[in-house]
Structure 1
Amino acid sequence: MNRRHDIDALRVLAFGLLILYHAAMLYVAGAGWDFHLKSSHTAEWLQYPMLFLNRWRMELLFLISGLAMNFMRKRGGIGRLMGRRSLRLLLPLAFGMLVVIPIQPYVQGLSNHLVAPGFGHFLLRYWTGGPWPAGAFTGWQYGFTWNHLWYLPYLWVYTMLLLALLPLLESRHGQRLREACLKLRGARLLLLPALPLLLWNVLLADRYPVTGALWGDWYAHAVYATMFLYGYLLGTDTGIWTELARLRRVTLPLALGSFALYMLGIKGLPEDAAAPLWMTVRALHYLYLWSAIASVLGWGHAYLNHPFRWLPYAREAVYPWYVLHQSLLLLFAWWLMPLGLGPVAEPVLILLATVSGCALLHECVIRRVRWLRPLFGLETRMHQGSAPAVEPHRRLADDLA
């Protein structure tokens, strides 16, 4: 089988959007948009593009990660996969929480005037679990935080659950279920995958708001684990990927239309509107979520499945950039925001500094120091150029977080 360059490219682009999204969080105004730091140049209009991305960006990443498990299963036993995935996910998580993340609660605590200046003193206190004044930083009550690295423990949990369920999924009945999913076409493919997501919202969203704290985050788990399972079921089945590409001219206007109606609902409906109207708004949310992802997959398969020269390098860089980006973003924001640079120069310089910092640390340090590589999710040995043709499944699976 040939390497799926479109999936590689989508993963790179999805994590690139994550960096832009977190940079924009410094500037979006309004209730529900709290972030570790906020600029004095906030704007409410940013809520619209942020909501446009927010409703599907993480779900896409979990779906792509589910695809990775489909590839991995073709070349390893369950026990071996559990070990490999645990090492690849939990080692960068532990290193990130101890070494990379601490600058984030430090600058947030300084901004809130609840942490004393002096990073060395803060770091010793952080490594010993605090305690901290209430509201010092996000996660203060736990003594330490994983902030944006929450994706890694969530993904580890879903991976372990999927591997434990593989005997059932690979049974005769499980294979029938997967075959039925892969035979979805047309309107059924556009509508049916959204229904479980809507069901989780109705049953869980009001009772279990999203926290990122792992335990008790049941609504988030239901949605993200479902998307992870979708990715595993999707795999590289030619028929359903061809159908997603065929439907791309339907899924794009469907996504845009459902998003527009969804925004009219959440912005225009009064809180005491009739329950059927609010249920319609909820349904539009998940129709938008799934149609947007189907559109991304379809257009990506049609136009990104090529061996772009930049792709092998970007494919390796994604994991280190993910681990580094928010710490660098908040550090540079803390330095630059007091300088009064204005609403254009300030975000541009913060974003450029963040991207440059990620690029320099990855290229000049992380990828060249053998013992550092696994701490950022990379194989110990540096790979040059494209993956070997003899093991396309292995390299693709190893590259997908």
Structure 2
Amino acid sequence: MNRRHDIDALRALAFCLLILYHLAMFYVFEWEWHIKSVHQAEWLQYPMLFVNRWRMDLIFLISGIAAAFLLKTDRVWRFVGQRTWRLFLPLVFGMAVIVPIQPYAQGVSNGLVEPGFVQFLLDYYGGKPWPKDAFDGWSHGMTWNHLWYLAYLWMYTLALALLAKPLASATGQRLLARFAGLRGTALLFLPALPLVFYTLTLQERFPDNGDFIHDWYRNAVYFTVFLYGYAIARNQGFWTEALRLRKQSLAWALGLFVPYLGLAMVLPDEVPFWQQAVIWTLRNLYIWTALLAILGWSHALLNRPFRWLPWANESVYPWYMLHQSLIVALGFWLANYRLGPITEPALILLGTVVGCWSISELVKRIGWLRPCFGLKPRSTPPRVANAQELSGSMP
């Protein structure tokens, strides 16, 4: 199997985008986040909406592609063990060590937690009950915040393991081939229909809450695109068609986003169901055509052995785990200095990049810390992974 440099590069770029997105969440007007700057901008809503609708779908799609190269039907339990070690251990470590600064900063900013990080940690680890809405996840005592992705992906991995043999059957293979064999207009629009259905039937009943158990709308969407990734991973015909359709899919994505954005911004929050259904349909058609365009253009432009890929492959997981805590901590600290709307975000971005780089480079050199950040043992030299190994390097 040829190396899939495009998937490696796309994964790294997707998580870079995630860092910029979370930095922007500190500044976008009227969008709730853990803490907010005094320098909020309404114009940020437009680029944020453009990215927001497909950013996590893309990451779960890539995760499904990666899983397809690692899962072997005769080694399912080995697959489960490897993915648990690579996902669940970093989740537990991250919740205990990396995330706590976020609820502390949010609680102090809300005036519901007393300043003093050491005392907060003692209360946090001790199971102290928190005031209502002190921070996101207050009712559970602890929170996973941005590391929710690891928890959800771990559960989807377990589900995929249970489906491994049915998917490997003749019927399962026909279903996977049927999806990956979509061409032309069918590929542009049919995969969006399940997403439309979930939105119409589940979104209002199960709003996002990040606890997995009650998150049936997001689970339906993300597990579906995860399976999409699994279905298309090894099908060269799909990638050839995505490459051929890259201009059309990009044109459709941009063309669908304009009316979606217009309706979402102009119409009031409370509208008749038929109007809401139109908005949701446009949104999901935009999501899938954007994903297809990203896959097609990535295959065209990124499928080459860039010199930065070996470093990025090993760095992306630690950077993902660290970035949001650094953004929140820096934003919380710099707010005291009343810096301007240019200096403040520039310093937060610089500090986040320097912090992610320095800590991750240290982690890479400490054997016992590597698995806590999802990295393989040091005996495995960093290099561009081939297609069969991609899943092993994925968060």
Instruction: Give the CA deviation at 1:393.
Output: 3.9
Aligned to 2:245: 247
How big is each residue's C-alpha offset from its partner over 1:317-344, in whole Å with a ceiling of 9 and x where there is no partner?
0000011111111111111122121011
Which structure 2 residues correspond to residues 359-370 of structure 1 after superposition, within 5 A? 359-363=357-361, 365-370=362-367
Q: What TM-score do you get using the length of structure 1 for normalisation? A: 0.96
Aligned to 1:14: 14
Q: What TM-score do you get using the length of structure 2 for normalisation? A: 0.97
How big is each residue's C-alpha offset from its partner over 1:257-316, in whole Å with a ceiling of 9 and x where there is no partner?
101010111122345655433322211100100000101000000010000000110111
Instruction: Give the CA deviation at 1:154.
Output: 0.5
Aligned to 1:24: 24
Which SS does the other structure have where 1:135 is aligned? coil
Q: Percent identity?
A: 53
Change (3 A) 1:44 1:80: same
Length, aligned pairs only: 395
Aligned to 1:185: 183
User: How many Å separate the matches in 2 of 1:137 and 1:13?
Assistant: 30
Given candidates 124, 132, 136, the residue that maps to 2:130 is 132
How big is each residue's C-alpha offset from its partner over 1:97-137, in whole Å with a ceiling of 9 and x where there is no partner?
00111111111111112112221111111112221111111
Q: Do 1:74 and 1:393's aligned partners in 2 also have CA atoms closer than 8 Å? A: no
Instruction: Give the CA deviation at 1:384.
Output: 3.6
Which structure 2 residues correspond to residues 44-63 of structure 1 after superposition, within 5 A? 44-63=42-61
How big is each residue's C-alpha offset from its partner over 1:203-259, in whole Å with a ceiling of 9 and x where there is no partner?
100100011111110000000000100000011311110110110110111111101
Q: Do 2:260 and 2:279's aligned partners in 1 also have CA atoms closer than 8 Å? A: yes
User: How many Å separate the matches in 2 of 1:313 and 1:290?
Assistant: 30
Which structure 2 residues correspond to residues 1-400 of structure 1 after superposition, within 5 A? 1-30=1-30, 33-74=31-72, 77-270=75-268, 274-363=272-361, 365-387=362-384, 392-400=386-394
Q: Read off the aligned partner of 1:233 and give its amino acid letter.
A: A
Change (3 A) 1:301 1:43: same
Instruction: Give the CA deviation at 1:397.
Output: 2.0
Instruction: Give the CA deviation at 1:386.
Output: 2.3
Q: How much is the aligned-residue C-alpha RMSD, in angstroms?
A: 1.4
Change (3 A) 1:327 1:272: closer
Q: Do 1:208 and 1:217's aligned partners in 2 also have CA atoms closer than 8 Å? A: yes
User: How many Å separate the matches in 2 of 1:160 and 1:326?
Assistant: 27
Q: Do 1:75 and 1:394's aligned partners in 2 also have CA atoms closer than 8 Å? A: no
Instruction: Give the CA deviation at 1:375.
Output: 0.1
Q: Do 2:239 and 2:296's aligned partners in 1 also have CA atoms closer than 8 Å? A: yes
Q: Which stretches in structure 2 are left out of the alignment for 5+ residues? A: none
Q: Do 1:387 and 1:395's aligned partners in 2 also have CA atoms closer than 8 Å? A: no
User: How many Å separate the matches in 1 of 2:93 and 2:266?
Assistant: 45
How big is each residue's C-alpha offset from its partner over 1:166-190, in whole Å with a ceiling of 9 and x where there is no partner?
1111111111111111210000000
Which SS does the other structure have where 1:206 is aligned? coil
Q: Which stretches in structure 1 are left out of the alignment for 5+ residues? A: none
